[in-house]
Structures are given as C-alpha cells and as structure tokens.
C-alpha cells in the first residue's frame, strides 16, 4: 500500500476501527454477562453476596475498559467526515442514518445508565439498579446492531438510488433487513460474547488454580462456559454462512479467501496452507483437502466457484477498467488464522461443558483445563482482528461494494495534516491499550477482596467485601 493521503487515511481508519473494536467487543459481551450475574444476585437472595461480589469484580473490569471504548468511539464517528468526506457526502443520506440511530438509541442509554448503575449503588432500589445494568447491556447490543448494519450496507448496498453525485435512501426497511448486515451482526455479537466469556473463564481459572474465593469463581466459571459455548457456536455458524454468502455477493473476496486464482474444479478442494505468488497470480505451493472446498461453499460435496483471474475480467466488464484484486495473501492468511482460532475456542468451550457435565464439582479441580483457559484469553481478540482484516481488505478496492471505490471516497486533506494526525492517534492508542491491559491485569489478579484505598469516588468504588457489601446484604 502506498503511503499517500489515501494510504494514510486507510491506515488511520483501520487502526481506529481495530483499536475501538478491541475495547468494545469486551464491553458488548461483558455487559451482558454482568447483567446475568446481577440478575442471579437479585433472584437468589440466599446467595446474593456471592453474586454481588462477582458483579462488582467483573463490573470493575468492565468499567476500566468501558471508558476507552467510549472515547475511541468518538474518533470512529468523526473520522468519516475528517478522512472520508467524499464518501460522507456521497452516502450520508443513507449511512448517516444508522449512525445517528446508534447515538440516539444506544450511546446515551449506555453512558447515562452505566453511571446510575455504578454510582447509584447506595441510592437506587435493587430493582432499579438491576434495570440499569440491563439497559446498559441492551444499549451495547443496539449499538453493535446499528454500526454493523452500517458496515453491512457498505458490503452489500441495498435500498438506495444514485441521483447525480449522491446516493439517496429509498427503502429503509431493506437497509435494516439487509441479510448481509444481519449475518454480520450475529457474527460480531457471537465473537463479542466469546471475548467476554473467555476473559471471565481465564480470570476465574486463575483464581481457582490458587484456591482464592472459590465460591465466587467456580460459579463465574460456569457462567463463562455457558456464554463461551453460545458465543463460539454463534460466531462459527454465522461466520460459515457469511463466507458462503460472500461467494455470490462478493465473489472476489471469497476467491481471495481461498487464494483460488482459476475457477475451481467441482468438487472443489480446500486449501489448508498455500504459498501465494501475487505477482504471477498463482500459488507456488498448496496443500489441498479434497471435497472440503465444495462442502464449505455449498454444504454439499459438489460445486465449483470462480477464481480471481476470471473474476477480474468480469469485474472490469461490470465496473470499468481497474484492478479489482484485493491483497490476496492478507485475506487468505487472516481468514485461516480466524477460522483456526474459532475451532480452538469451540473445543475449549465444549471441553468445559463436557467436564462440567461429567465431573460436576470436579470441574474446579481439573487443573490442566484451568491452565489451558489462561492461554485462551487473547484468542477471541486475535480472531476478531483477523476477521476484520479479512472482510475489510477483501472488499478492496471498493468502499461501498460495486458503487464507490476507496480512492473516490477519501478527503482532499494535505499529507502533513493526515500524517501528523495519524502519529498523534497512534501514540495515544498505544498508551491506552497498554494501560488498559495493565490495569485489567492488575485488577483481575488482585481478585474479589481487592480493596485499594484509592478507589473511593469518581471512578469505581470497589469495596467488594466491605461496608458496601454488608449494606447490600441488609437490603436484600
């Protein structure tokens, strides 16, 4: 990629989106898990203190992360106008709507009720407090829905009409029920739940291995397993379907994901490892598994799909001269890493469910499994990262598929402005991600009885085992 204004702007957009998603994927998933924990605390009065501890502990992790998610979200929104003003002018009529809906329906809800939930501990009725965390959880899902819908529209534009130099919205229902966007939403949702679930699993396992606060963490481990199973199954199945869908609405992306240069045979094999030679448009080395390609593309052992070279000719006929081949190596490898990690996550989740079912109480003592969970914490994040690279690079050179190229969408900013801005953002992003991981790790390791003197106000007041908790008990 050339680092001109276009290249810098793409790099800027990719960095902001990936950094932002690093934080929000955890927020989206964890909000839901915490809401469930708090519900149990509310319903099971006899065990309220255990679940109250659990909620506060994971709530603290949530808040550390939430702040960064919010601020990176502002950049995410402003950058459309700043770096992609031509794009904004072209599709603002359509793309702006889900974005505005996201703010009005979700951002206000989340930011207001998170404050009420956390600071309102000692002045809201437990039922109102429970409602607050559910509103936060619902808000995060609504937020994810609209932004992914907007992204899905860029991959598969529907319900529009181009008049002059602008695209106009003609059918909002078509935009909302865009099958591509709905699939993407399920996929993102599943992966966000996995991120949160594997974090809860890893942290719980860490404390169980040390026999700390067993009554809390053996329960959070089980909640984590349920969410890990649901999340990884969701993301695997919707991801599988999203890839199949790409075969007919973004065939070039699908071909790049498989590094398939010529149209495949039927039944098509599936490439497991390939040495891709992009310059000469062939694979120098390829390990193929027979039939699997067709099975993945069609759910049956027959059927072929088009390759990159014939597609390039077809795209030129459709959209005019140009290079329509995305960076194949990036797409191919990121896709494989994502799928590979997805498999590991499925195994880890179902392994836990099996151990729970077969050995019941013994789950807490299966040390090899708990140790394994420590290493699975970063996996869903890496898979998310690779997934975004696959899907976004796979649609190059288009910004809105078949309608607007990235080159046409970029702002006419000066090189210096964009370069300096990018450097500034990277410095801050790196600092924030470092601090976030550091603080999450410190807080997670300190455990339920962590009671730093400092955390008295503004930010969270995790007095988990102290007065706050006795007060909680008295009320219930």
Partner 1 sequence: MDLVTLWFWLIALTFTLYFFLEGFDFGVDMLRPFLARSEAEERALVGTIGPFWDGNEVWAIAAAGVMFSTFPVWYGTLFSGLYPVFVIILLSLLMRGVSFEYRNQVDQPRWRAFWDWMSFFGSLTPSFFWGLTMAKLIEGLPVNADERVLGGFSDVFTPFSVAGGLATTLLFILHGANFLLLRLHKDTRLYTRARAAALLWGALATGAILLFVVMGYVTEGLFNSFGVLPWLFPVAAGLTLGSIWYGLTRRLDVFAFLMSSLTIVFSTVTIFIALYTRGVVLPSTLDPQYSLGLRESASQPYTLTLMTWVGGIFLPLIIGYQIWNYYVFRERVRPDEGGLDKGYD
Q: Which of residues 345-384 bind partner 1 (CB under 8 A)?
A: none
Site string for partner 1, 29-68 (x = CB under 8 A): ----------------------------------xx-xxx
Chain-centre distance for alpha carbon 474: 39
Distance (Å, whole) CA 194 – CA 402:
33
- The structure tokens listed for 125 are 């009725």
Residue number with CB closer to partner 1 (361 or 457): 457
Q: Hey, which residues between 74 and 93 contact partner 1 (CB under 8 A)?
A: 74-75, 77-78, 80-89, 91-93
Using DSSP's 3-state secondary structure scheme, residue 466 falls into coil
Degrees (nearest 5) of the Cα angle 461, 465, 467? 70
Residue 429, Ramachandran bin (φ over 0: left; ψ between -120 and 50: alpha; else beta): alpha
Number of residues counted as binding partner 1 (CB under 8 A) = 85
- Of 84 and 206, CB closest to partner 1: 84
Nearer Cβ to partner 1 (2/453): 453
**Binding to partner 1, residues 271-290 (CB under 8 A):** none
Among 71, 182, 245, 355, contact with partner 1 (rule: CB under 8 A): 71
Nearer to partner 1, 72 or 376 (CB): 72
Q: Does 15 bind partner 1 (CB under 8 A)?
A: no
The token duo for 21 is 């998603």
The interface with partner 1 within residues 412-441 (CB under 8 A) comprises: 412-414, 416-418, 420-421, 424-425, 428, 432, 435, 439
Length of the chain counted residue by residue? 476
Tokens representing 265?
Answer: 């045979």
Q: How far is CA 63 from CA 26, 47, 351, 434, in A?
A: 11, 24, 30, 16
Whole-number CA gyration radius for the chain: 24
Smaller CB distance to partner 1: residue 91 or 373?
91
Shorter beta-carbon distance to partner 1: residue 97 or 373? 97
How is residue 229 written in tokens?
Answer: 């199973």
Which 110-139 positions form the footprint of partner 1 (CB under 8 A)? Answer: 111-116, 119-120, 122-124
Centroid of chain to Cα 64 = 18
| Lookup: tokens for 246 | 């790409």
Considering the rule CB under 8 A, would residue 302 count as an interface residue with partner 1?
no
Segment lying near partner 1 (by CB under 8 A), choices 203-211, 224-232, 302-310, 408-416: 408-416
* Among the listed residues 70, 182, 344, 346, the single contact to partner 1 using CB under 8 A: 70
Report the residue number, 284 or 453, with the smaller CB distance to partner 1: 453
Intra-chain end-to-end CA distance of the chain, in Å: 60
Candidates 382, 434, 456, 475: give the one binding partner 1 (CB under 8 A): 456
Q: Which tokens sit at 225?
A: 């397993």
Closest CA to 220 of 455, 461, 448: 448
Q: Which CB atom, from 85 or from 218, has the smaller least distance to partner 1? A: 85
* Binding residues among 172-211 for partner 1 as defined by CB under 8 A: 172
User: Between helices 328-359 and 179-209, what is the axis angle to 10°?
Assistant: 50
Query: What's the rounded Cα separation, in Å, for the pair 33 and 426?
Result: 31
Residue 97 engages partner 1 in binding (rule: CB under 8 A)? yes
User: Among 447, 448, 461, 464, which residue sits at the site for partner 1 (rule: CB under 8 A)?
Assistant: 461
Q: Report the residue number, 219 or 450, with the smaller CB distance to partner 1.
A: 450
The answer to the question of residue 100 lying near partner 1 (CB under 8 A) is: yes
Q: Which residue in this structure is represented by tokens 């410190």?
A: 442
- Say which DSSP state 269 is in: P
In whole angstroms, the minimum distance from the beta carbon of 110 to partner 1 comes to: 9
């Amino acid at each position: 990629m050339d680092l001109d204004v276009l290249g810098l702007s793409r790099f800027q957009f990719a960095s902001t989106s990936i950094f932002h998603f690093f934080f929000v994927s955890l927020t989206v998933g964890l909000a839901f898990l915490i809401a469930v924990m708090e519900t149990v605390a509310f319903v099971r009065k006899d065990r309220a203190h255990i679940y109250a501890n659990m909620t506060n502990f994971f709530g603290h992790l949530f808040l550390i992360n939430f702040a960064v998610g919010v601020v990176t979200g502002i950049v995410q929104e402003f950058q459309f106008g700043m770096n992609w003003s031509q794009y904004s002018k072209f599709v603002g009529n359509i793309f702006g709507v889900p974005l505005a809906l996201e703010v009005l329906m979700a951002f206000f809800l989340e930011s207001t009720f998170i404050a009420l939930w956390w600071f309102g501990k000692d002045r809201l009725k437990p039922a109102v407090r429970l409602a607050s965390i559910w509103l936060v959880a619902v808000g995060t899902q609504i937020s994810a829905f609209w932004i992914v819908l907007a992204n899905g529209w860029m991959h598969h534009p529907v319900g529009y009409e181009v008049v002059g130099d602008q695209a106009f919205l003609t059918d909002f229902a078509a935009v909302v029920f865009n099958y591509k966007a709905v699939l993407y939403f399920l996929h993102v949702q599943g992966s966000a739940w996995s991120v949160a679930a594997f974090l809860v699993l890893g942290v719980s396992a860490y404390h169980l291995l040390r026999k700390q606060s067993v009554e809390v963490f053996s329960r959070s481990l089980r909640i984590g397993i349920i969410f890990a199973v649901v999340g990884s199954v969701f993301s695997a199945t919707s991801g599988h379907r999203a890839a199949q869908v790409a075969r007919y609405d973004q065939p070039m992306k699908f071909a790049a994901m498989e590094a398939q240069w010529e149209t495949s045979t039927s039944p098509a094999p599936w490439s497991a490892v390939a040495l891709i030679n992009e310059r000469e448009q062939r694979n120098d080395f390829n390990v193929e598994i027979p039939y699997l390609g067709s099975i993945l593309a069609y759910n049956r052992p027959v059927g072929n799909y088009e390759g990159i070279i014939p597609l390039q000719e077809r795209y030129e006929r459709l959209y005019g001269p140009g290079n329509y081949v995305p960076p194949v190596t990036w797409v191919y490898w990121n896709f494989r890493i994502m799928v590979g990690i997805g498999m590991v996550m499925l195994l880890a989740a179902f392994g836990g469910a099996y151990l729970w079912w077969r050995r019941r109480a013994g789950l807490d003592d299966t040390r090899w499994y708990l140790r394994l969970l420590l290493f699975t914490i970063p996996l869903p994040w890496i898979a998310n990262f690779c997934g975004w690279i696959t899907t976004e690079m796979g649609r190059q050179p288009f910004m809105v598929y078949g309608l607007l190229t990235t080159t046409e969408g970029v702002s006419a900013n000066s090189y210096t402005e964009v370069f300096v801005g990018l450097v500034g953002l990277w410095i801050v992003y790196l600092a924030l991600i470092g601090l976030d991981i550091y603080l999450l790790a410190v807080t997670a390791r300190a455990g339920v009885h962590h009671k730093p003197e400092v955390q008295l106000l503004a930010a969270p007041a995790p007095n988990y085992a102290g007065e706050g908790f006795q007060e909680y008990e008295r009320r219930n």
